Amino acid sequence: MNKLRITGMALDETQYLKQINSPEDLRKLPPKELIKVCTELRDFIISSVSCNPGHFGASLGVVELTVALHYVFNTPYDKIIWDVGHQAYGHKILTGRRDRFHTNRKYKGISGFPSIFESEYDAFGVGHSSTSISAALGMAVAAQQKGEDRQIVAVIGDGAMTAGLAFEGLNNLAATKANVLVILNDNNMAIDPNVGGFSDYLVDIATSRTYNKLRREVFKALQKFNIGGPRSREMIIKINNSIKTLLTRQTNIFEGFNIRYFGPVDGHDVERLASVLKDLKEIKGPKVLHIITKKGKGFKLAEENQTAWHATGKKFDPHTGRFLEPSSNKPKPPKFQDVFGHTIIELAKQNNKIVGITPAMPTGCSLNLMMQQMPDRAFDVGIAEQHAVTFAAGLAIAGMVPFCNIYSTFMQRAYDQVIHDVALQKLNVVFCLDRGGLVGADGPTHHGAFDLAYFRCIPNMTIASPMDESELRNLMYTAQLPNQGPFAIRYPRGVGSLINWQTPFEEIKIGTGRKLADGQDLAFLTIGPIGVKVARIVEELQEEGITAGHYDMRFVKPLDEALLHEIFSKYKKIITIEDGTIVGGLGTAVLEFMSDNHYYATVHRMGIPDRFIEQGTQTELARDCGFDMESIRNTARKMAKES
């Protein structure tokens, strides 16, 4: 492999970056020095992420844009909204967090995404996507109301423009005179390549050589006659849009929204970008600047394999790109997402009604395996969770069995569609909720804390969480059987516990749990993979003379009432444990059952408390939430001693 273009330089070896403690320092430099700033900033990001893994390709792709924005605009008075948030590493480094960047995504460190609680330069918190235009419009209208001459910039990219919310914001923006600049960072990628007509449309605009050549000739002619001023600018814009419409044989979608469009512009020419942004500052009202960038720019492997280098889960050599963590030949349990990916293929071969759906996460949820083997039966619908759910409903009402795989935290965006389009009509849509529970370094925007609670109150829903990989397979098998209705299967990020996980399929009776251990002193009621840890704790407590029953509830809706009657008839001390919010989750369901059936027992609920949890490792965060193994052991010991 050829050596990659990266020096891995330390901060004290930089000429410019070490002097930039805020954007004010950046603005003191002459424009010609910005190229060198970009080189140092890109190298700093590569060197940092090689030691502290995190999102990678997206921030490398916007280095020049980041520098140009902070050079031209008076941040933080002027507002920059990054959408999606993992584009913002360079922004963080230039805005006073350079010396803390080594704590990025770590417990008690800085967030991997913009956070209004972290810096005044982070204008709006964003972890997912497509919120920037709506938020920017709100800020711009507020500035107008208060008489502030404030610039508002929304940087939307990495697939975020494929979501309906972005177009809702664009539609509303067009009906105003709000001073908003939307920068469309067009790299034709989310995590995986963008899909859909809008992506193709942007490619048509960007690659029309005839258009770009003719546009340059028109601009030169106008400049030759010294045509300037606001009216002339408007004329140029109209000519620009008309040429584009003629040569691409499409109406410019932004012109259709009555929003002035500029571009496409090379997003890696920092001096040109700065010049364009200065001109756009003088043009009031809504406008779009279309820039073309390459995700992973400046790191060869990230440019060539943008999906794999979207985020680095391991440390790597910044010179060669070789991952540094030693590999082991010892068999390891699979990731839950891979169990899903292989199992849906097995089921689809048996049941020709099964199809797979994901909103822009085929690699993240492993539906890419089905897309490779069965491309006509697996669909990436773009960053569009609401559409994904109603698309699944349409398939289901026509007799198909859609498996709709959406990260738990992103399913929240489609809550109304789940209620009205699926549950109300009792349609057999199987929701596979990946990343349920604490996800780790991605932090509060990505934790799947609320799914058990927010689904439990919806009629007609079946809600389950497997303790291990074999249970996941059997729940998926059960969910695709006839007349099952809306069915949610929730599982965590990371690996499971079984080496030999490809067990034969078995139907699981809906609403049944299972007793894993009998005891006398107290009972553990668990749901999901936390049960594997509790099973070990039960064995450890027995060595201390504490005998605990252990029940894998498996379903939070419907509850196994027969099993609960057995539990409350025998035990007066009960601990419920879930990797989800304790407000409305399994523990709450158990308390409701106890009250409704007039049982009396001491019930201690363990899970995610009623607050947003920051970033860190899953182990650190479980300890912070009070349901790590030591906390569970101590709680059991204390309860066992109480009279």
Tens-place pLDDT, residues 505-518? 999 999 999 999 99
Among 183, 255, 184, 263, CA closest to 219? 263
SS3 at position 92: helix
Instruction: Note the pLDDT of residue 131.
Output: 92
Given 413, 435, 493, 557, the catalytic residue: 413
Say what percent of the chain tops pLDDT 70.
Answer: 88
Task: Tell me if residue 514 is catalytic.
Answer: no
Euclidean distance between the first and the last CA atom of the chain, given in angstroms as a whole number: 68
Instruction: Note the pLDDT of residue 242.
Output: 56
> What Å distances lie between residue 67 and 167, 439, 560, CA to CA?
27, 31, 58
Mean predicted confidence (pLDDT) in 316-336: 82
Mean predicted confidence (pLDDT) in 110-124: 94
d(CA 353, CA 593): 37
Instruction: Note the pLDDT of residue 193.
Output: 55
Instruction: Note the pLDDT of residue 74.
Output: 96
d(CA 80, CA 70): 9
Mean predicted confidence (pLDDT) in 142-149: 94
Q: Computed over its alpha carbons, how large is the radius of gyration of the chain?
A: 27
In this predicted structure, the answer to whether residue 168 has a pLDDT above a threshold of 70 is yes
Tokens encoding 564: 């609960």
C-beta separation of 50 from 293 below 8 A: no
211 or 168: which carries more pLDDT confidence? 168
Task: Tell me if residue 295 is catalytic.
Answer: yes
In this predicted structure, the answer to whether residue 176 has a pLDDT above a threshold of 80 is yes
pLDDT digits over 182-207, tens only? 999 988 754 555 455 555 555 454 44
CA torsion 5-8-12-15 (nearest 10°) is: 10
Query: H or E segment at 417?
Result: helix 415-417
In this predicted structure, the answer to whether residue 411 has a pLDDT above a threshold of 50 is yes
Using 50, 70 and 90 to split pLDDT, how confident is the model at 13?
confident
Task: Tell me if residue 168 is catalytic.
Answer: no
Mean predicted confidence (pLDDT) in 124-151: 93
SS3 at position 226: coil
In this predicted structure, the answer to whether residue 3 has a pLDDT above a threshold of 90 is no
DSSP state of 504: P
CB atoms < 10 A from the CB of 65, how many?
28
Cα atoms in the 13 Å half-sphere on the side-chain side of 273: 28
Given 64, 385, 471, 620, the catalytic residue: 385
In the sheet with 378-380, reading across from the earlier edge strand, the strands are 378-380, 354-358, 401-407, 430-434, 487-490, 462-464, 555-557
Mean predicted confidence (pLDDT) in 379-402: 95
Instruction: Note the pLDDT of residue 592.
Output: 98
Instruction: Note the pLDDT of residue 526.
Output: 98
Instruction: Note the pLDDT of residue 314.
Output: 77
Task: Tell whether the torsion through CA atoms of 247, 248, 250 and 255 is positive or negative.
Answer: negative
Instruction: Note the pLDDT of residue 1.
Output: 30
Instruction: Note the pLDDT of residue 206.
Output: 47
Tokens 């959406």 sit on residue: 406
Instruction: Note the pLDDT of residue 267.
Output: 93
In this predicted structure, the answer to whether residue 251 has a pLDDT above a threshold of 90 is no
Task: Tell whether the torsion through CA atoms of 39, 41, 46 and 51 is positive or negative.
Answer: positive
Given 42, 105, 287, 295, the catalytic residue: 295
294 or 587: which carries more pLDDT confidence? 587
Which range, of 43-47, 569-573, 579-583, averages the lowest pLDDT? Answer: 43-47
Which range, of 28-42, 59-73, 185-199, averages the lowest pLDDT? Answer: 185-199
Residue 426 one-letter amino acid: K
In this predicted structure, the answer to whether residue 289 has a pLDDT above a threshold of 50 is yes
Instruction: Note the pLDDT of residue 5.
Output: 38
252 or 360: which carries more pLDDT confidence? 360
Burial of 217 (0-12, 13-18, 19+ CB in 10 A): exposed
In this predicted structure, the answer to whether residue 432 has a pLDDT above a threshold of 70 is yes
C-beta separation of 163 from 384 below 8 A: yes
The pTM (predicted TM-score) of the whole model is 0.86
Instruction: Note the pLDDT of residue 286.
Output: 94
Mean predicted confidence (pLDDT) in 291-315: 80
